[in-house]
Amino acid sequence: MRYFIIEEDKAAGYTGSIDGTHKWGLPGVFRCPTCQSTWGDNSRAYPSVDLTPVASLADFEEVRAEPIEEYERLCALVRPLLPPDALPEPGMSLGPLVGRATGRFGALSSPWPWWLLLQREALEKLQAEGVRGLKGCPHQLHFHQRQPPELLELEFLDAGRLHPDCLPPDRKPPCARCGRERRTLPKSRLLDASTIPVHLDLFRLVDFSTVIVCTERFVDACQRLSLDGVAFHALPVR
């Protein structure tokens, strides 16, 4: 099985643009007492999560950093609402996309490397082809056009890691308290074969949440169905 990274196809000529964020999110961490880092990362998102059962919704609406004790308290409130095996972390995005959208969108669209949206018809065709791990989530985007596209945002499970051979040999382990890893996405990437999920055709890397990976089964289905809007770049496996 071959694997690929999904990115926007700039040569496709689509003008679709999204100015929005997910409705809720966990705060970042302010000055972790263990590693002294202030950080948050909103590239890991679970758009299916509904936080309305949580009493203090306002605590999840403002982008900010909090002392780690407050982050841990809020994380404990949302953890029961997350998908199984979700990986909560500071700054994580939750709920539907909210904002504005305009322009023409392809069958698939990746306005940011860690987002992937599909036209509903494209999603249904891929599901009919037996592509595994497709979970489309509704958005709350406002379109400035009479007949807006029916887009759904894909929610990804976290699986797979890059192979240690493409990472710096002197990299430090993650912080024992806040979980931060000081890492830079390498230009030359290798997928660690021992970490690849066997039940998914799309997934988000555990160690680099900005990278979405798909199988050749997904690529073949998109090409066979003439679904455009994104490009696929081979990801070697070791």
Q: Are 201 and 132 in contact (CB under 8 A)?
A: yes
Alpha-carbon distance of 15 to 7, in angstroms, equals: 15
Q: Are 37 and 175 in contact (CB under 8 A)?
A: yes
Q: What is the pLDDT of residue 7?
A: 93
Q: What is the pLDDT of residue 61?
A: 96
pTM of this structure = 0.94
Q: What is the pLDDT of residue 167?
A: 93
Q: How confident is the model at residue 183 (pLDDT cuts 50, 70, 90)?
A: confident
Q: Considering the domain boundaries, does residue 152 fall inside one?
A: no
Q: Is the dihedral of CA 170, 173, 174, 175 positive or negative?
A: negative
Q: What is the pLDDT of residue 145?
A: 81
Q: What is the pLDDT of residue 170?
A: 82
Q: Considering the domain boundaries, does residue 44 fall inside one?
A: yes
Three-class SS state of 60: helix
Half-sphere exposure of 50 (CA within 13 A, CB side): 4
Alpha-carbon distance of 204 to 212, in angstroms, equals: 5
Number of domains the chain contains: 1
Q: Domain of residue 81: give its range.
A: 23-94
Three-class SS state of 31: coil
Segment 205-234, tens digit of pLDDT: 999 999 999 999 999 999 999 999 999 999
Q: Are 1 and 215 in contact (CB under 8 A)?
A: yes
Query: Tokens at residue 142, please?
Result: 């406002």
Segment 88-109, tens digit of pLDDT: 999 999 999 999 999 999 999 9
Distances in Å between the alpha carbon of 208 and those of 160, 177, 181?
9, 19, 10
Q: Considering the domain boundaries, does residue 30 fall inside one?
A: yes
- Mean pLDDT, to the nearest integer, of 65-88? 96
* DSSP secondary structure, 69-119, as one string: HHHHHHHHHHGGGSPTT----TT-EEEEEEEEEES---SEE-SSTT--EEE
Q: Are 144 and 236 in contact (CB under 8 A)?
A: no
Task: Encode 87-112: b = buried (16+ Cβ within 10 Å), e = exposed.
Answer: ebbbbbbbbbbeeebbeebbbbbbbe
- Mean pLDDT, to the nearest integer, of 185-191? 95
Q: Considering the domain boundaries, does residue 167 fall inside one?
A: no
Residue 85 has pLDDT above 90, yes or no: no
Q: Considering the domain boundaries, does residue 70 fall inside one?
A: yes
